[in-house]
Amino acid sequence: MSVFLDVSGSMDETMQKAVDNISVITQFNNGISTFIGWDDHLKFEHYNVNNKKLHDILNSVSGGCTDLLDGFEYFVKKSPPQDILVIISDLQTDNWKRCEELLNNTAKIRTVIIGLPEYYNRCCHDLLKVILVPLK
C-alpha cells in the first residue's frame, strides 16, 4: 500500500486525524511501501514506513499552499503497480478538473482510496470508482 499525504496549510487542523489513520494503515501489509508528502511540491518521500518511522517523519511537517496535480502524477508514477493507492487530502486545489481526470483514469486500473477530512472539495463525489472514506 502506498500513501499520499496532502500536507498543505488547509490540512493543518486535520493532520492529527490523518496521522491516526495512517498509523492504522502501517499495521497492515508490513507498513507503507511508498509514503509521499506534498503541498505545492514534494515535501518528503520515504519507503517501507512502519509506525515509528511514520511518527518521526510527521513530527517535522508543516505545509504551505496546495497544487495537487503534479503530486498525484508523481505519486502514481513512484508507487509500485500492485499497491493500493491511499490519498489523504481535502482535495482543495486550483486544478481540480485535471486532478479529477487523473484520479478517474488511475482508478480504472488500480484501487484508489481517498481519506477525506471534515472540510473537503465536494466535487470529489463525481469521481468514478474511487473509494471515498471520511477521516474520523
For residue 47 the three cell numbers come to 519507503
What per-residue confidence (pLDDT) applies to 8?
Answer: 86
CB atoms within 10 A of CB 118: 11
Please give the C-alpha separations between residue 96 and each of 1, 57, 106, 112, 118, in angstroms, as whole numbers: 24, 28, 15, 17, 18
What per-residue confidence (pLDDT) applies to 121?
Answer: 84
pTM metric for this prediction: 0.90
What per-residue confidence (pLDDT) applies to 56?
Answer: 83
Residue range 73-126, pLDDT digits in tens = 999 999 999 999 999 999 988 899 999 999 999 999 999 999 988 888 888 998
d(CA 63, CA 95): 18
What per-residue confidence (pLDDT) applies to 44?
Answer: 92
What per-residue confidence (pLDDT) applies to 74?
Answer: 97
Residue range 37-79, pLDDT digits in tens = 998 899 999 999 888 888 788 777 766 777 899 999 999 999 9
What per-residue confidence (pLDDT) applies to 38?
Answer: 92
Return the residue matching grid coordinates 493500493. 84
d(CA 100, CA 116): 15
What per-residue confidence (pLDDT) applies to 29?
Answer: 66
